[in-house]
Structure 1
């Protein structure tokens, strides 16, 4: 994908994600792999009102080669996910209530979801009996260290669809913008179902 097409796709995606309340304030950041590197959102902009001026163009090493503003520190985690999962073409980082709360409610390193038909919205899952496992990492302002933790985890438990950062949000990935959007939508439905299930069980 060329840079202009990548920016257009992320502008449209920003509107879609914002309408669902998954990137409040100026939260979140988006990226797409391009022919010569990456396009990423610059820090500090409302993702529902992005324009072409709100993006940076990076080379394959993550160095800024064009654009105004500065990349989010979390860009380093985007780049690490591209490196770890080579088929990834798009990473979308969001801050929904469901993802943020569940990442704190689950105290272990993995959120396991099972028994929902919507699990099949995630690439490679063909049955509600196939558990969906999403790794959770403790939030860290040192993004290089956080990226290192993600890489270490990936060595023994490969990451496929997404990771959660505890108390922070979701990083979804896919082989295209559309697949990444589908992964987010499916995951958010599943997260909402799990929150409702937890609430109901607590009242028994």
Structure 2
């Protein structure tokens, strides 16, 4: 896979995420890891449903742009963090759906997803009879500091024997998901979005019953 092919993968992913309402306005960012370890990623400010090859740029593993004249997503370091921590990761997607935004604002430090058939979309979960702890982090404009908090949480989960899911939420902001390929990343994102939409609908139904 070269840079042109990576751009095509990112463009098609953006179009799909746009069709499903997960990247309104200029929200979201998308990346692919190139075979040499560099990262192709969306430039800042572009609508993900209308990307062209000029909306995709290349950064190194630390997030530094190859072309200093180009500006990548403000959250490039979060992509780099997933690639660094999980060596098999080949793609990272970030979206802003209504469900993930609202639930992240209403939740504590995690959202527990239990009993959903779509949990089988996650690695190591061959059955729906499982619970996934989806971390939620407070938003922070200091992305390096936010990434450090993410890494500390991953370390804590690993030390406690808690499976680290291939995704997390940023409160009031959106969701990050990663996978070995873009197709799998989009499938995981779609599964998570479905489960989060179910959680939101359940919370709304319960509130209606109480009212």
* TM band (smaller chain): over 0.9
Superposed CA offset, 1:75-110 (max 9, x none): 01110111112211111010000000111111x211
Q: 1:132 to 1:192 in 2, by over 3 A?
A: same
The 10-residue stretch of structure 1 (118-127 or 132-141) with the greater mean CA deviation from structure 2:
118-127
Q: Measure how far apart 1:112 and its partner are.
A: 0.4
Q: Indicate yes or no: 2:81 matched with 1:80.
A: yes
Q: Secondary structure at the match of 1:157?
A: helix
Q: Report matched runs for 1:85-104 at 5 Å.
A: 85-104=86-105
4+ residue runs of structure 1 moved beyond 4 angstroms?
A: none
2:126 maps to which residue? 126
How many residues align? The count is: 203
Quote the RMSD (CA, aligned, Å): 1.3
Q: Distance in 1 between matches of 2:165 and 2:194?
A: 18
The 10-residue stretch of structure 1 (58-67 or 177-186) with the greater mean CA deviation from structure 2:
58-67
Q: Secondary structure at the match of 1:62?
A: coil
Q: Indicate yes or no: 2:162 matched with 1:169.
A: no
Superposed CA offset, 1:125-162 (max 9, x none): 22221102111000000101000000111112143310
When the two structures are superposed, what TM-score results if normalisation uses the length of structure 2? Answer: 0.92
| 2:8–2:53 Cα contact (<8 Å) kept | yes
Unaligned runs of 5+ in 1: none
Q: 1:173 to 1:7 in 2, by over 3 A?
A: same
